[in-house]
A and B are shown apart, each in its own frame.
Chain A
C-alpha cells in the first residue's frame, strides 16, 4: 500500500522536499529487489538484509521496509561499518561512495551476490544501482558489468525503465 500510495504520489508530480525524495528512494529500493535475480545461495538466507554503510541518505524512511518480505524472507535493516560486516547483506546502501575506496568496493563485490546502491550518477562506476535526480524525478542508473561480476542480473523490465545503463567491465 505504501508503494501504491507512493506511486500515486510520484505520478501526481514531484515535490521539492527531501522527505519525499527519501521516501521514493526507499520505495524504489524495495521494488528493485523484485527485479533482481539473486544467486540461489542468497535466497537460502533466513533474512533479506538491507545494510546501511555510512550515513543515512534515506532520512529514516528505510525502517518502513521492516516487516515486509522479499522472496518470502522478512526484510531486516542493519547498519554496517565495514565491508567485512556486509557479507550477509542483500542490499548494501552506500550514500557516500567514498566511505570505501572505489577499487576496494569493486573488487569486494565480485561473486558476493550483494547489490550495491548509491546516490548520484558519478558513483555508478563502483556501484550497481544509482538513484539520480533528473528533471526533479528519481531515475535509475544501472552498472550491468559490475552486477555481473557480483553474480547478479536484472529483469529486462528494470533495465527498460533505467535512464542509463553502464555495460562492460568496470
Chain B
C-alpha cells in the first residue's frame, strides 16, 4: 500500500483500469474455456456413449456366437472418432473377449476387468457400456478416449485469449489515457494553482474551471476558498502593517516570544532600551543583560508567567556595554490565539531611567544628611520603627539617645555658619566613633542628633555609652584657629520598658533631653515616670474628644486657600480642623489628631470635617462665590482610609450635601498608602471612579517605589512643607523639591507646594514649574466666612 500511495493519481487510474480490464478478460475467458471444455466433454461423451451403445448392440451376436474376430471388426467402427485410443469387449465372465488399439504408439492394455460405472472422465474419457441381450448382461464394451484434442483446443483458445487480452490492454490504456485527461487534469490544475500560490505567494491566482461536473464544483469551491483566503490575507497584511507602524512609532519597547522561548519580534525601541540589536535578540542574552540584582526576581516572574499564566510587572536595570544602566519596567502577559490557546508571550518594556534617576537622587537626598553623611530624620524614623519591631520579636531591649548641642547657636552666631557646619561634622565623626557599627547615629535637626542602640543588656551598658559620648564630645575642637569646647545634653529612653512605638520613644527621649538641659547640661537623663505624667494628658484629651463629637459644636473647620502660582487665582482650599473643648483652651491638631487616630475617633471626626467642608462648598457654589474648577481638599487619615465604610459614607455625605464630586479632593499621606499597597490601590480606584481626585500629602517623606507610584491612581502631589521651609537656605532641600516636581511631571501629576512663607520660595517653585502653592505667605487658615471674603477680594495683595 505505501508503494501504491506514492504513485501518481494518473498512474493509479490507468493501472486500475488496465488491471480491471485484464482481470475481466481473464475471468471471462477462464469461465468460457471451462464451460467449453465441459460442453465439449459432454458432447463427445454423449456421442461416444451412443456409439458405444450401437457397437455393444451390434456385438451381441459376435459375443453370443464367440466370434472374437467379428467383435474386433465391430470395435474398429469406433475408429471413426480419432480420439478413441482403445476399445475392448469383455464377456459375461469379465474376461477380455476382443480389443482393438487405434494407435500404434503408447498402446496400453485393456483394464483388467470392467467397472460398474458408465463414464469416467479424468486424464481420458472412459466409457463402460453393458452388452445385453434379451435383458441379460452378456458382456461389457470399454472405450478409452484421449483428451489430447482438448489440450490442443485449449492451446488454441489460450492463443486467442492472449490476443484478445492484448487488444483489450491496448484499448484500456487508450480509454484510461482519455479518462485521465478528463478526470485528473482538473485536479492537476487545482494542485498546480495551489503550488504556485505557495511558491509565489500570489493569492490572486485561480484554478481554471473547465468542466461542469463534480470536479468543476471542486475547482469552484477551491476558487471560492482562495477568494476568502485572499481577502483574509489582505486584512491580515493591513492589520499587521498597522501593528508594525504602531509598534515602530511606539515609545515603548515591544517584544513577542513564542512557546519555545525564542524572541520572534521586537521593535526598534526595544533594541534602544536593552542595547541588543535585533538579529542578536534571544531571551538568554536579554536576561543576561539584566542587572544581577534584578535577574532572580525577573526569572521568577517569567517562570510564574509561563507556568501559571500570571502577567507580571518588574522593575529592572539593563547594564549596557559602556557600564551605564538603563532602568526599565517590563510587563508581559500570555498571548492567546483565536481558539483561546496560548501561543506565546507578549510584553512591553518602558524606559524609566529618568524617573529612576530622579527617584534615586531624591532618595539619597531624602534619607541622608548631606553635611555630615549621617542618616537624617526620615531614615532614622524608619530605622527606629524597624528596631522597635525587631526588639518586640526578639524580646530584647533597645535604647534611644536624644542629643542636643548645648552651645551651638552661640558658636554659629559668633563664628559663622561655616564654623557651625564644621562643628557638626566633627561631632558626627566623634559620635560614630563612640558607638558600635551596628548602632545608628542620625542628625535629625540643626543641632539635634540621635543614637539608636540595639540589643542592649541593661541600662548600665547604656549609661557607659552615654558617658563615653559625653567624654568624647567635650574634648576641644579647633574652629577657625580657636579651641572650642562643646557639650551636649542627652535624653535616654529604653524600649520596651518606656514605650513600644517610635513616636512614644521619641517623645520620651525628647522629654529626657529637656530634663538633662534643666539639670545643667553636659549630662544625660533617663526617661522617668514623672515625665510620663505629662503623657497622662493624652487620656484626658481622648475623653474630651468623645464629648466634643457628641456635642457637635466644639469643632470648627478652617480653610487654607491654595492658589495657582502663575496667575495667583484661588484653585481651592484645604480644610483644617480646629478644636476648643468646652471651658478649655484651643488644642493644637498636632496634639489631638494623633490621639484621635490612635483611638479611632478620627473616623467620626473625619466625617464631620467632610460634611462641613462639603456644605460650605455647596453654599459658596449656590452664592456663586466658589471659583470654577476649584476643589476643597479634605485630609484622609490612615484609620479613615482603611475603614471599610469609607466609600459608602462618602457617597452618603456627597448626596446629602449635594456637593459635586469634582469639587472634592482627598489628601492621603504617602505612609498611609504604603501600609498595604494592593488594598490601597483598590480603595483609591474606587474613590477615583466616584470622580473624586486624590492628592498625595507629605510627599517625599516616605520612600515609595516608583513602580508603585506609577500604579497609584493619583492626580496631585503635595511636596512636604519640610522641604519648602528651608528654601532658599538649604540647597539639598531645594534639590529635592526640584526633583520631586520633575518626577511628578513625568508621571503627569500636578504639584502643590505646602508651607510657602517667603517670596523666594514662590520664585523658586515657579522657576521649577510647580503649579500650585499653599502657605502663610499666601493665606493663613481662616474661617468659612473669611474664606468667602478672601475669594471675592480682587487680587492677592502682598504677592508679586
Q: B92 contacts A11, CB within 8 Å?
A: no
A8: interface (CB < 8 Å): yes
- B66 in complex: contacting residue of A7, A34, A35, A157, CB < 8 Å: A7
Q: A residues within 8 A CB of B97? A: 11
Q: B61 contacts A161, CB within 8 Å?
A: yes
- B67 in complex: contacting residue of A3, A4, A161, CB < 8 Å: A161
- B58 in complex: contacting residue of A4, A31, A137, A157, CB < 8 Å: A157
Interface centre among A4, A31, A158, A161 (most CB of B within 10 A): A161
Q: B133 contacts A161, CB within 8 Å?
A: no
Interface centre among B61, B63, B97, B133 (most CB of A within 10 A): B61
Q: A residues within 8 A CB of B67? A: 160-161
- B65 in complex: contacting residue of A4, A8, A156, A161, CB < 8 Å: A161
Q: B residues within 8 A CB of A158? A: 61
Q: Which residue of A lies closest to B64 (CB)?
A: A31
- Pairs across A and B, CB under 8 Å, 11 listed: A7-B91, A11-B68, A35-B61, A140-B65, A155-B61, A157-B57, A157-B62, A160-B58, A160-B62, A160-B67, A161-B67
Contact A28 B61, CB 8 Å, known A34-B134, A160-B70: no
A10-B66, A28-B65, A158-B61 given; 10 more Cβ-contact pairs under 8 Å:
A3-B64, A4-B92, A7-B63, A7-B66, A31-B65, A157-B58, A157-B59, A160-B62, A161-B62, A161-B70
Q: A residues within 8 A CB of B60? A: 157
Q: A residues within 8 A CB of B64? A: 3, 7, 31, 161
Instruction: Kindly identify, within residues 437 to 460 of chain B, every residue whose CB is under 8 Å from any CB belonging to chain A.
Output: none
Chain B min CB distance to A157 (Å): 3
Closest A-B pairs by Cβ, 8 of them:
A157-B61, A161-B65, A161-B67, A10-B66, A161-B61, A31-B64, A158-B61, A11-B66
Q: Given the complex of chains A and B, what is the CA–CA distance between A8 and B70 in angstroms?
A: 17
Q: Given the complex of chains A and B, what is the CA–CA distance between A31 and B65 in angstroms?
A: 9
Chain A min CB distance to B68 (Å): 8
Main secondary structure of the interface of A (DSSP, over half): helix
Q: Which residue of B lies closest to A35 (CB)?
A: B61
Q: Given the complex of chains A and B, what is the CA–CA distance between A28 and B65 in angstroms?
A: 7
Q: Which residue of A lies closest to B57 (CB)?
A: A157
Instruction: Kindly identify, within residues 12 to 34 of chain A, every residue whose CB is under 8 Å from any CB belonging to chain B.
Output: 28, 31, 34
B93: interface (CB < 8 Å): yes
Q: A residues within 8 A CB of B70? A: 160-161
Q: Which residue of A lies closest to B58 (CB)?
A: A157
Q: A residues within 8 A CB of B133? A: 34
Interface centre among B64, B65, B66, B91 (most CB of A within 10 A): B65
Q: B residues within 8 A CB of A7? A: 63-64, 66, 91-92
Q: A residues within 8 A CB of B57? A: 157
Q: Given the complex of chains A and B, what is the CA–CA distance between A3 and B91 in angstroms?
A: 12
Q: Given the complex of chains A and B, what is the CA–CA distance between A31 and B61 in angstroms?
A: 9
- B91 in complex: contacting residue of A11, A31, A137, A155, CB < 8 Å: A11
Q: Given the complex of chains A and B, what is the CA–CA distance between A35 and B64 in angstroms?
A: 11
Q: Given the complex of chains A and B, what is the CA–CA distance between A49 and B91 in angstroms?
A: 30
Q: A residues within 8 A CB of B134? A: 34
Q: A residues within 8 A CB of B74? A: 160
Q: B66 contacts A156, CB within 8 Å?
A: no
Instruction: Kindly identify, within residues 64 to 122 of chain B, every residue whose CB is under 8 Å from any CB belonging to chain A.
Output: 64-68, 70, 74, 91-93, 97
Q: B58 contacts A156, CB within 8 Å?
A: yes
Instruction: Kindly identify, within residues 155 to 169 of chain A, every residue whose CB is under 8 Å from any CB belonging to chain B.
Output: 155-158, 160-161
Chain A min CB distance to B290 (Å): 129
Instruction: Kindly identify, within residues 134 to 160 of chain A, every residue whose CB is under 8 Å from any CB belonging to chain B.
Output: 137, 140, 155-158, 160
Q: A residues within 8 A CB of B93? A: 4, 8
Q: Given the complex of chains A and B, what is the CA–CA distance between A3 and B97 in angstroms?
A: 16
Instruction: Kindly identify, within residues 22 to 56 of chain A, every residue whose CB is under 8 Å from any CB belonging to chain B.
Output: 28, 31, 34-35
Contact A160 B66, CB 8 Å, known A11-B91, A34-B134: no
Q: Given the complex of chains A and B, what is the CA–CA distance between A35 and B134 in angstroms?
A: 10
Q: Which residue of A lies closest to B62 (CB)?
A: A161
Q: B residues within 8 A CB of A10? A: 66
Q: B residues within 8 A CB of A137? A: 66
Q: Which residue of A lies closest to B73 (CB)?
A: A160
Chain A min CB distance to B139 (Å): 10
Q: Given the complex of chains A and B, what is the CA–CA distance between A161 and B97 in angstroms?
A: 15
Q: Given the complex of chains A and B, what is the CA–CA distance between A35 and B133 in angstroms?
A: 10
Q: Given the complex of chains A and B, what is the CA–CA distance between A29 and B65 in angstroms?
A: 11
Q: Given the complex of chains A and B, what is the CA–CA distance between A140 and B134 in angstroms?
A: 21
Q: A residues within 8 A CB of B91? A: 7-8, 11
Contact A160 B61, CB 8 Å, known A10-B66, A11-B97, A34-B134: yes
Q: Given the complex of chains A and B, what is the CA–CA distance between A161 and B58 in angstroms?
A: 10
Q: Given the complex of chains A and B, what is the CA–CA distance between A28 and B66 in angstroms?
A: 11
Q: Given the complex of chains A and B, what is the CA–CA distance between A3 and B66 in angstroms?
A: 11
Q: B residues within 8 A CB of A4? A: 92-93, 138
Q: Given the complex of chains A and B, what is the CA–CA distance between A63 and B591 in angstroms?
A: 179
Q: A residues within 8 A CB of B63? A: 7
Q: Given the complex of chains A and B, what is the CA–CA distance between A124 and B245 in angstroms?
A: 143
Q: Given the complex of chains A and B, what is the CA–CA distance between A157 and B70 in angstroms?
A: 10
Q: Which residue of B lies closest to A27 (CB)?
A: B64
Q: A residues within 8 A CB of B92? A: 4, 7
Q: Which residue of B lies closest to A9 (CB)?
A: B66
Chain A min CB distance to B295 (Å): 128
Q: A residues within 8 A CB of B65? A: 28, 31, 140, 161
Q: A residues within 8 A CB of B61? A: 35, 155, 157-158, 160-161
Instruction: Kindly identify, within residues 110 to 148 of chain A, every residue whose CB is under 8 Å from any CB belonging to chain B.
Output: 137, 140
Chain B min CB distance to A35 (Å): 6
Q: Given the complex of chains A and B, what is the CA–CA distance between A80 and B68 in angstroms?
A: 37
Q: A residues within 8 A CB of B68? A: 11
1/0 contact trace for B42-70 toward A, CB 8 Å? 00000000000000011111111111101
Chain A min CB distance to B12 (Å): 73
Interface centre among B66, B70, B97, B133 (most CB of A within 10 A): B66
Q: A residues within 8 A CB of B59? A: 157
Q: Given the complex of chains A and B, what is the CA–CA distance between A10 and B138 in angstroms?
A: 15
Q: A residues within 8 A CB of B62? A: 157, 160-161
Chain A min CB distance to B94 (Å): 11
Q: Given the complex of chains A and B, what is the CA–CA distance between A156 and B57 in angstroms?
A: 10
Chain A min CB distance to B72 (Å): 12
Q: A residues within 8 A CB of B66? A: 7, 10-11, 137
Q: Which residue of A lies closest to B133 (CB)?
A: A34
Interface centre among B58, B64, B67, B92 (most CB of A within 10 A): B64
Q: Given the complex of chains A and B, what is the CA–CA distance between A165 and B502 in angstroms?
A: 170
Chain B min CB distance to A108 (Å): 28
Chain A min CB distance to B236 (Å): 109
Q: Given the complex of chains A and B, what is the CA–CA distance between A157 and B73 in angstroms?
A: 12
Q: Given the complex of chains A and B, what is the CA–CA distance between A28 and B133 in angstroms?
A: 14
Q: Given the complex of chains A and B, what is the CA–CA distance between A4 and B133 in angstroms?
A: 12
Instruction: Kindly identify, within residues 321 to 354 of chain B, every residue whose CB is under 8 Å from any CB belonging to chain A.
Output: none
Instruction: Kindly identify, within residues 55 to 72 of chain A, every residue whose CB is under 8 Å from any CB belonging to chain B.
Output: none
Q: B residues within 8 A CB of A34? A: 133-134
Q: Given the complex of chains A and B, what is the CA–CA distance between A156 and B66 in angstroms?
A: 16
Q: Which residue of B lies closest to A7 (CB)?
A: B66
Instruction: Kindly identify, within residues 747 to 766 of chain B, every residue whose CB is under 8 Å from any CB belonging to chain A.
Output: none
